Amino acid sequence: MVSYKKQIEDFKIKWEREPQPFELCSRFETCQLNKCPLHPDYKKLKNDSSDPSQKGKKQRCITKDRRKKIAFAIGLKSMGLTIRETSAFKSQEKFDLSLEKSKQGDIAQQNKDKKKSERDKSISGVSGMRRCESSKEGD
C-alpha cells in the first residue's frame, strides 16, 4: 500500500494542485455519502434527502483509522472523525481527566493518611516512653 504522503505527491504532479482529503479516500469514486467526514467543512454540510445512506441503504465510509491517517497527512483539523466519533472522543478525554484527578486526589489522601499515622505513632511512642520513665522514677 502506498503511503498517503506519496499519494499526495502523485496527485500534485498529476493534477497540479493540492488534493482535498476526501480525494485521497479509496472509495471516493464510488462513494454515495454526501456528508463525508474527510470534507474540510464536514460540520457545515447538510444531509440530502436523496442520499442513499439516509434511506436505510447505509454505505459505510472507510474505517476510522484510515480517515485519521488521511487527515493527518493533509493536516485536517477534524482528524477525519464523524460528529459521533468526535463527541465520543471528547467524552473520553473528560472521563480520563476526571479519572486522573480522582487518582491524584486518592494519592493525596493516602499521603495525608500515611503522614497522620506516622505522626500518631511518633506521638504515642514519645508518650509511652515518658510513661516508662515516670514509672521508673516512682520505683
pLDDT per position as a tens digit, 15-38? 999 998 888 888 887 776 777 888
Neighbours of 4 (CB within 10 A): 18
Q: Using CA atoms, how far apart are residues 74 and 57, in angstroms rounded to an integer?
A: 30
Whether residue 58 has pLDDT greater than 70: no
- Whether the pTM exceeds 0.75: the reply is no
Mean pLDDT of 73-80: 86
The alpha carbon torsion through 73, 75, 76, 78 (nearest 10 deg) reads 100
Q: What is the pLDDT of residue 85?
A: 85
Return the top range by mean pLDDT from 21-30, 41-50, 127-136: 21-30
